[in-house]
Homo-oligomer: A and B are copies of this chain.
Amino acid sequence: MNKQIPDILNLIQELTWHFSSRELDGACCGDLSLVEYMALNKAWESDELSIQEIGNFLNFTKSGATRIIDRLENKEYIIRKRSLVDGRVCCIAVTDKGRETVAKIKEKYIAYVNEMLKEYEPEVIDNVKSVLEILVHGVHKQGFI
């Protein structure tokens, strides 16, 4: 085993911790928790996802997924529609309010990441991206810990 692996683990865990604060406080973020934002973002990225698809992506049980979608629907960020192809399936559609809110939250995160990296040259930033692609490829290959 490469001797850097333990350090790399520590660094990933520290990074992880900072990006998983439980509330997204601030004027921009409506009343969304991180989990809700992740679900809303997923629904926004690929429209018409089913509830279970969102749940699987986020590693929740299907009842957990239902609950998250409940909250997002109550807050009017999404609407449930029944699939025309299969009446059991709910297609999740993001509302205008949902789209605006995702955009605002994303802006806030992007500003944060930009601040993190502003002092570095473009080549360094490209390198950051490639490394993250390696890591994300790695977690996709292995699934959740």
Contact = CB atoms under 8 A, between A and B. Distances in A.
A15 B16 contact: yes
A112 B126 CA distance: 25
Contact of A141 (B106, B116, B127, B128): B116
A138 B117 CA distance: 7
A2 B134 contact: no
Residue from A4, A14, A128 whose CB has the most chain B CB atoms within 10 Å: A128
A133 interface: yes
Contact of A109 (B4, B9, B125, B144): B9
B17 A132 contact: no
A122 B2 CA distance: 7
Interface stretch (A19-27, A82-90, A91-99): A19-27
A110 B13 CA distance: 11
Contact of A38 (B17, B19, B129, B131): B17
B2 A125 contact: yes
Please provide the 8 A-B residue pairs with the shortest distance between their CB atoms, ordered closest to farther: A116-B138, A11-B132, A131-B131, A18-B139, A16-B19, A20-B20, A16-B16, A21-B144
19 contacts: A1-B114, A2-B125, A5-B117, A5-B125, A6-B110, A9-B109, A9-B113, A12-B15, A13-B38, A14-B136, A14-B139, A15-B136, A17-B20, A17-B59, A18-B144, A18-B145, A20-B20, A115-B142, A120-B134
